[in-house]
Structures are given as C-alpha cells and as structure tokens.
Amino acid sequence: MKKQITCVVIEPGCISCGTCAVVCPAVFEVRGVSSVKQGADIVANAEAVAQAAEMCPVSVIKLISTSVEQCNE
Ligand code: SF4
C-alpha cells in the first residue's frame, strides 16, 4: 500500500514567521504560533505541506506518513 502524509505535528519552537501559512494556507494558520487548521485535508495538500515543512526555518513541522488515512492525534 502506498504511504502518504496523513498527519502533521507542529512541535514546540515555532517562531511565528508565517511561512507555512503562506506556502500552504489550506492546512496551516498562524495565530500566535502555527497550528493545523481543523478539518484540513492533509492528503490533498501533501505536496504543499511537505514544502512548508522543508521551508520552516526552525524545522518544527513534522510529517507522519502512514498507510492508513486515520490520524489519531
Ligand atoms: S514555518 Fe515554522 S516557524 Fe514559521 S510559522 Fe510555520 S511552523 Fe512556525
């Protein structure tokens, strides 16, 4: 089964630069610190999510790839 990004975790340390919300506004919002929007379609936005994680200056966006579509945060 093909693995895909199904979960995004933002670890402590976000410096609120706003990059992730610019790169992938469908998934990230920055209010104080970055968070994942409720109900965001991570699978559909996987490419932009991965790009945001790559561009985060403090590397606090962690991507979890699984073969299931359930994300139990
Ligand atoms: S790109 Fe990283 S540091 Fe910038 S707002 Fe997003 S999570 Fe925070």
- How does pLDDT run across 11-33, given as a tens digit for each residue? 999 999 999 999 999 999 999 99
> How does pLDDT run across 29-49, given as a tens digit for each residue?
999 999 999 999 999 999 999
pTM of the model: 0.87
> Which residues does a 6 A CB cutoff place in the pocket of ligand 1?
10, 14-20, 30, 34, 56-58, 60-61
Rounded Cα gap, residues 31 and 19, in angstroms: 13
Strands, E assignment, the chain: 4-10, 28-31, 33-36, 61-66
Contacts for 71 with CB less than 8 Å, ≥ 6 apart: 6, 7, 42, 64
What CATH class has 4-66?
Answer: alpha beta
Q: Could you tell me the distance, in angstroms and rounded to a whole number, from the CA of residue 15 to the centre of ligand 1?
A: 6
Rounded Cα gap, residues 15 and 5, in angstroms: 24
Where residue 61 falls among pLDDT bands split at 50, 70, 90? very high
Rounded Cα gap, residues 54 and 72, in angstroms: 23
